């Protein structure tokens, strides 16, 4: 029974029959009712195989695993992964083909992640096949999958062509190309999508002549498939295909299809073009970019579908800005979603444009966006201020920034307030302590008495970060008095905020301020009439205890905690006792 | 109607009602019925949240004149009753719709939905069982660890066929109102779920995110004049879907145009005839079901009294209108009082889109041949469910003089309604749900 306790973690040790026990447990647990135990056993499959030896692994374990495809996804996923590293355990490359049957059955399950993992492992072990074994064992498997009845097996086949193609004879090569062609025009869109997504990868291993003859026609066909879910994947393939072709062929072989995709009836296809724009641009080279892609891109920025415009706006960075700027200006008159996408990248442009251009072209935009009616747009600008700060300095913006911040700080939606609080430390750092004290300090204090708890909590955390930034002395002069003042507030929630602030600030403020200024306030609050305040006093004492010296702990903290430990309220007692047991009071 | 007057009826009952056919509970009432794409399987859902899958028996050579019957293949509890604590609402377990997925491997997959949650079920077979343990002997007794001197790898042995149903995905938390329909896209990747005000688009593999593509909820709920009653994807064009409304109109949307399909690309509506206008006009024009024909050229809609076939190229009026039970026009007042006027009848096409079928009251269901323009009323009942008996057409008489074999409007039983029917995709086999009974009829061989 003792041995049973951690069977799986016990390492196999070859001497003595007794050491078989842990392996026996692992094997039995391959079909335990508990999925965690099965998973555990599968993850230790190499241990089992090692104990069985290569012969029994091949003749007994693998046949059993081949039929184990009924299991939960996570078990199958683990199995598919394990089998990719199993070559040595079945006897080395000579026997690697024994791993094909279980992986083949895993490549037909309905769960995409499992299938993909099985394909990944198959690709891995294909490299360990000798050229002969590849043709005798591996390639027939690919063919079986490619002509399978169910589309799950045909989709899996798509990912295997590119690994066997380079290593087989030219007759087999011709067959593989034929199989790929067939799958590209499969009846089910699932298979056509799988073929389209592997088109680029397959093109890379093909001879250039076949790329021009076979791949281009497949690419053209997939790019004009009746289903837009297939067409959009062809756009992806376009990137790899364009990289393979010599510049002079691009115009005739790729560009007509790409142009058509950029003007596709379906917004999802155009979205894909916008989204892959940077990659496409790189693949087709500067000349075609200038003549073809830039005008297409400009159209995408003006697209009637907001999702497309947003994707294009996200790619503005790194474009020729003199061409883009008019369009960026245009965007400010479009919908919220796009503006907000643009706001999140526009700040990044300043580093590319340099100081003068930023001031001339971008500053007006920043300022306009800071006044945008949509809080998300304003937030996106503020959250990226650091980029601008590096180039032109934040002073240029501060006059416009302030009203925007104040407005967001008082926004009716608490999530907006929460977002701006999170940027406070960043803003404070860039605007400097003077500006902060003058304009923003009041805001930070106001948040402490917000009616939403999440805001009060964030405000507390914000104070801590500010103290870390500006130092203890600043805290002592500006923040601590205000915080401690709230201890006398008639609202018990505000009194508790004092305690939460002390919890957050004590460490940053150091021993002296904590002992001399904060501790007396906390101790005084132990007489509060509200039990919630009293048990938070106990919690606070536990929290700030490590900052205090032993004398203060023994003479001041201990008596108060002992008093609280006999409080009539159950929760107060509990937290007081907890604090006593945690702090070194004895 | 020649080809439909000769039916060979079989009668199936859900397993739980076999014990007693006279007393059935509310939970046994069948709420949806659906053939899969090959017609080999037939699924029903009931008010108790159960799904029963029937499988067609393989044709045996010795009984070549009898085609395979449908037998119970798998029964499982798809949905359980739940309680929404935030809204203090009970969520019924009733299965509103079942849709089969295209077959992707040896297992079968279906989507089932109640008012709020769609689930993806896998129905698979197992005929092998691993045998042989290391730590137990053949009789299941624990072996003494010291006696284990060699390792045994389990061996798979054949066993009796076992059919398992497992919930593979649960798509929840996307609907504020009640889901009335689900429809799988021809791209095999996505499906839509529709409630009174919204249509949501899901990826079959992703449960934590769906895209709202139609939202007709007005800013002020008091301005609400119309709800969505049903929605379906086009059978071939993956970007087209149609949804029907309580005002009797159908909107066709193109998902290529925009991410949000608030603007339709086609709007089908028949102008109202002012001469027949009454208090009930709006209620009876509400569409309870919309179905694309298999070839994708037509739309069929069912309202309270009629079935209409629309050509996708003609938006201003239906191509064909069939009266289902026009004799009820004079009884709308009492049908309003007993709530029957709000019954949601479904409608189906046959495999070649030449015949349509829909239900009525008194366990009657109707078929309309679009080519010959002939129609027939049939009855799903125990009396004529003797094997190999032929269904007799029924007639309802309106006037005072009742001929033999006719039934008068006043003696129709409105508690016996046929709301859900389905037609085999390739053959003349139909399944008709009549409260807690499922009737499967097929046309006579030879």
pLDDT in tens, A25-37: 999 999 888 889 9
Whether A110 and B107 lie within 8 Å, measured CB to CB: yes
**What confidence category does residue B66 fall into, taking pLDDT thresholds of 50, 70 and 90?**
low
Strand pairing category for B406-408 and B395-397: parallel
Assess whether pLDDT exceeds 60 at residue B132: yes
Assess whether pLDDT exceeds 50 at residue A73: yes
Residue percentage of chain A with pLDDT more than 70: 90
Nearest-10 Cα torsion for A119, A124, A128, A130: 50
**Residue from B190, B256, B257, B261 to probe the interface with A (highest A Cβ count within 10 Å):** B256
* pLDDT value of position B2: 30
* pLDDT value of position B58: 76
Long-range contacts of A196-199 (CB under 8 A, 24+ apart): A196/A222, A196/A225, A196/A230, A196/A233, A196/A234, A196/A236, A196/A237, A197/A158, A197/A233, A197/A236, A197/A237, A198/A158, A198/A159, A198/A161, A198/A162, A199/A234, A199/A237, A199/A240, A199/A241
Assess whether pLDDT exceeds 50 at residue B22: no
The residue among A164 and A311 whose pLDDT is bigger is: A164
What is the average per-residue pLDDT within B260-282? Answer: 90
Assess whether pLDDT exceeds 70 at residue B67: no
User: How confident is the prediction for chain A on average, in pLDDT?
Assistant: 85
* pLDDT value of position A7: 37
* pLDDT value of position B65: 47
Assess whether pLDDT exceeds 60 at residue A297: yes
**What confidence category does residue B404 fall into, taking pLDDT thresholds of 50, 70 and 90?**
confident
Q: Chain A window 78-107: which residues touch B at a Cβ cutoff of 8 Å? A: none
Q: Which chain B residues are within 8 Å of A67, Cβ to Cβ?
A: 128, 156
Task: Tell me the nearest-neighbour CA distance from A473 into chain B, angstroms.
Answer: 48
Please tell me the distance from the alpha carbon of residue A157 to that of residue A154, in angstroms, as a whole number.
5
- By Cβ distance, the residue of B104, B135, B205 closest to A152 is B104
**What confidence category does residue A406 fall into, taking pLDDT thresholds of 50, 70 and 90?**
confident
Whether A266 and B237 lie within 8 Å, measured CB to CB: no
Task: Tell me the nearest-neighbour CA distance from B62 into chain A, angstroms.
Answer: 29
Whether B256 and A188 lie within 8 Å, measured CB to CB: no
What is the average per-residue pLDDT within A511-537? Answer: 91
Strand pairing category for B429-434 and B437-443: antiparallel
Task: Tell me the nearest-neighbour CA distance from B311 into chain A, angstroms.
Answer: 22
- By Cβ distance, the residue of B104, B124, B238 closest to A150 is B104
What is the average per-residue pLDDT within B70-86? Answer: 92
Interchain CB contact of A24 with B (< 8 Å) = yes
Interchain CB contact of A229 with B (< 8 Å) = yes
* pLDDT value of position A357: 74
The residue among A522 and A383 whose pLDDT is bigger is: A522
* pLDDT value of position A320: 53
* pLDDT value of position B301: 97
* pLDDT value of position B69: 81
**Which range (A92-101, A130-139, A402-411, B60-69) has the least confidence?**
B60-69
pLDDT in tens, B173-215: 999 999 999 999 999 999 999 999 999 999 999 999 999 999 9
* pLDDT value of position A12: 42
* pLDDT value of position A418: 87
Whether B149 and A20 lie within 8 Å, measured CB to CB: yes
Assess whether pLDDT exceeds 80 at residue A298: no
Give the three-class secondary structure for A282.
helix
Task: Tell me the nearest-neighbour CA distance from A85 into chain B, angstroms.
Answer: 20
* pLDDT value of position A432: 82
- For residue B286, which of B328, B320, B345, B245 has the smallest C-alpha distance? B245
pLDDT in tens, A345-358: 776 677 666 777 77
What is the average per-residue pLDDT within A260-274? Answer: 93
Q: Which chain B residues are within 8 Å of A63, Cβ to Cβ?
A: 156
What is the average per-residue pLDDT within B66-94? Answer: 88
The residue among A475 and A5 whose pLDDT is bigger is: A475
Whether B189 and A193 lie within 8 Å, measured CB to CB: yes
Assess whether pLDDT exceeds 70 at residue B61: no
Q: Which chain A residues are within 8 Å of B145, Cβ to Cβ?
A: 3, 18, 21
Assess whether pLDDT exceeds 70 at residue A500: yes
> Which range in A507-511, B132-136, B148-152, B221-225 is most confidently predicted, on average pLDDT?
B221-225
* pLDDT value of position A405: 81
Interchain CB contact of A20 with B (< 8 Å) = yes
* pLDDT value of position B24: 63
User: How confident is the prediction for chain B on average, in pLDDT?
Assistant: 87
> Which range in B102-116, B375-389, B394-408 is most confidently predicted, on average pLDDT?
B102-116
Assess whether pLDDT exceeds 80 at residue A537: yes
**What confidence category does residue A586 fall into, taking pLDDT thresholds of 50, 70 and 90?**
low
Please tell me the distance from the alpha carbon of residue A106 to that of residue A86, in angstroms, as a whole number.
15
pLDDT in tens, A284-294: 888 888 788 87
How far apart, in Å, are the Cα atoms of B23 and each of A205, A558, B362, B382, B417?
A: 70, 74, 19, 15, 18
pLDDT in tens, A183-205: 999 999 999 999 999 999 999 99
- The H-assigned helical ranges of A276-335 are 277-288, 294-301, 306-314, 321-331
- By Cβ distance, the residue of A60, A64, A228 closest to B256 is A228
B10 pairs with which residues across the strands? B440
**Which range (A49-63, A545-559, B29-43) has the least confidence?**
A545-559
* pLDDT value of position A425: 85
């Amino acid at each position: 029974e003792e041995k049973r306790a951690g069977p799986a973690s016990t390492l196999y040790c070859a001497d003595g029959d007794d050491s078989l026990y842990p392996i026996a447990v692992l094997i039995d647990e391959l079909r335990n009712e508990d999925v965690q135990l099965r998973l555990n056993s599968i993850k230790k499959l190499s241990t089992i195989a090692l104990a069985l030896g290569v012969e029994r692994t091949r003749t007994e374990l693998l046949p059993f695993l081949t039929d184990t495809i009924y299991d939960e996804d996570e078990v199958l996923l683990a199995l598919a992964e394990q089998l990719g590293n199993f070559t040595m355990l079945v006897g080395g490359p000579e026997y690697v083909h024994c791993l094909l049957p279980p992986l083949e059955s895993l490549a037909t399950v309905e769960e995409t992640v499992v299938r993909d993992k099985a394909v990944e492992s198959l690709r891995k072990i294909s490299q360990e096949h000798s050229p002969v074994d590849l043709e005798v064992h591996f390639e027939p498997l690919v063919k079986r999958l490619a002509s399978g009845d169910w589309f799950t097996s045909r989709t899996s086949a798509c990912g295997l062509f590119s690994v066997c193609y380079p290593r087989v004879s030219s007759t087999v090569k011709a067959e593989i190309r034929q199989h790929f062609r067939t799958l590209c025009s499969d009846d089910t869109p699932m298979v056509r999508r799988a073929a389209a997504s592997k088109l680029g990868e397959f093109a890379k291993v093909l001879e250039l002549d076949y790329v021009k003859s076979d791949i281009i026609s497949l690419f053209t066909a997939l790019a004009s498939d009746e289903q837009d879910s297939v067409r959009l994947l062809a756009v992806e393939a376009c990137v790899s295909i364009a990289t393979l072709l010599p510049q002079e062929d691009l115009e005739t072989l790729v560009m007509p299809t790409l142009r058509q995709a950029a003007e596709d009836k379906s917004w999802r296809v155009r979205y894909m073009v916008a989204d892959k724009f940077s990659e496409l641009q790189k693949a087709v080279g500067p000349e075609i970019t200038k003549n073809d892609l830039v005008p297409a891109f400009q159209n995408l920025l003006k697209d009637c579908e907001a999702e497309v415009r947003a994707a294009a706006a996200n790619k503005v960075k790194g474009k020729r800005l003199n061409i883009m700027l008019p369009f960026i200006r245009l965007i400010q008159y479009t919908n919220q979603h796009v503006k907000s996408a643009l706001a999140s990248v526009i700040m990044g442009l300043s580093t590319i444009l340099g100081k003068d251009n930023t001031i001339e072209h971008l500053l007006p935009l920043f300022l306009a966006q800071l006044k945008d009616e949509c809080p998300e747009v304003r937030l996106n600008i503020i959250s990226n201020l650091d980029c601008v700060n590096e180039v032109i300095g934040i002073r240029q913006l501060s006059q416009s920034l302030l009203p925007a911040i104040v407005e967001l700080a008082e926004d009716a939606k608490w999530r907006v307030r929460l977002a701006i609080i999170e940027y406070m430390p960043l803003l404070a750092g860039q605007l400097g302590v003077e500006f902060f004290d003058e304009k923003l300090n009041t805001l930070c204090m106001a948040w402490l008495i917000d009616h939403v708890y999440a805001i009060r909590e964030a405000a507390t955390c914000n104070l801590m970060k500010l103290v870390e930034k500006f130092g203890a002395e600043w805290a002592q002069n500006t923040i601590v008095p205000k915080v401690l003042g709230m201890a006398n507030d008639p609202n018990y929630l505000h009194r508790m905020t004092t305690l939460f602030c002390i919890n957050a600030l004590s460490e940053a403020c150091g021993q002296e301020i904590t002992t001399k200024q904060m501790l007396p306030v906390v101790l005084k609050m132990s007489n509060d009439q509200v039990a919630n305040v009293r048990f938070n006093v106990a919690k606070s004492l536990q929290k700030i205890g490590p900052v205090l010296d032993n004398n203060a702990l023994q003479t001041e903290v201990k008596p108060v905690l002992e008093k609280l430990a006999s409080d009539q309220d159950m929760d107060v007692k509990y937290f007081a006792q907890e604090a006593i047991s945690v702090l070194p009071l004895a | 109607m020649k080809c439909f007057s000769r039916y060979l009826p079989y009668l199936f009952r859900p397993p739980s009602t076999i014990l007693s056919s006279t007393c059935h509970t509310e939970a046994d009432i069948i709420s949806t019925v659906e053939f899969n794409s090959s017609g080999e399987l037939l699924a029903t859902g009931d008010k108790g949240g159960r799904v029963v899958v029937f499988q067609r028996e393989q044709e045996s050579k010795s009984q070549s004149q009898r085609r395979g019957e449908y037998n119970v293949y798998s029964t499982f509890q798809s949905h359980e009753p739940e309680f929404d604590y935030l809204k203090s609402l009970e969520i019924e377990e009733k299965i509103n719709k079942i849709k089969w997925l295209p077959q992707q491997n040896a297992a079968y997959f279906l989507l089932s939905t109640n008012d709020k949650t769609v689930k993806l079920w896998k129905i698979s077979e197992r005929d092998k069982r691993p045998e042989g343990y290391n730590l137990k002997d053949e009789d299941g007794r624990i072996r003494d660890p010291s006696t284990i001197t060699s390792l045994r790898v389990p061996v798979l042995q054949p066993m009796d066929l076992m059919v398992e149903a497992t919930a593979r995905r649960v798509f929840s938390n996307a609907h504020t109102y009640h889901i009335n329909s689900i429809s799988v896209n021809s791209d095999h990747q996505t499906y839509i779920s529709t409630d009174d005000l919204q249509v949501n688009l899901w990826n079959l593999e992703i449960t934590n995110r769906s895209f709202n593509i139609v939202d007709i909820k007005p800013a002020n709920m008091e301005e609400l004049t119309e709800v969505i009653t049903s929605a379906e994807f086009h059978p071939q064009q993956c970007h087209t879907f149609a949804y029907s409304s309580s005002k009797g109109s159908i909107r066709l949307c193109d998902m290529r145009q925009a991410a949000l399909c608030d603007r339709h690309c086609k709007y089908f509506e028949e102008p109202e005839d002012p001469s027949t206008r009454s208090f009930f006009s709006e209620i009876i024009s509400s569409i309870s079901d919309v179905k694309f024909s298999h070839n994708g050229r037509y739309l069929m809609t069912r309202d309270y009294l009629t079935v209409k076939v629309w050509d996708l190229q003609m938006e201003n009026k239906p191509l064909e209108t069939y009266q289902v039970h026009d004799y009820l026009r004079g009884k709308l007042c009492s049908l309003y009082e007993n709530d029957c006027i709000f019954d949601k009848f479904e409608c189906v096409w046959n495999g070649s889109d030449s015949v349509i079928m829909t239900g009525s009251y008194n366990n009657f269901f109707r078929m309309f041949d679009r080519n010959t323009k002939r129609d027939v009323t049939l009855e799903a009942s125990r009396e004529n469910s003797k094997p190999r008996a032929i269904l007799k057409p029924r007639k309802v008489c309106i006037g005072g003089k009742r001929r033999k074999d006719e039934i008068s409007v006043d003696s129709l039983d409105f508690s016996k309604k046929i709301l859900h029917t389905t037609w085999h995709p390739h053959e003349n086999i139909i399944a008709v749900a009549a409260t807690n009974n499922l009737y499967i009829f097929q046309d006579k061989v030879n």
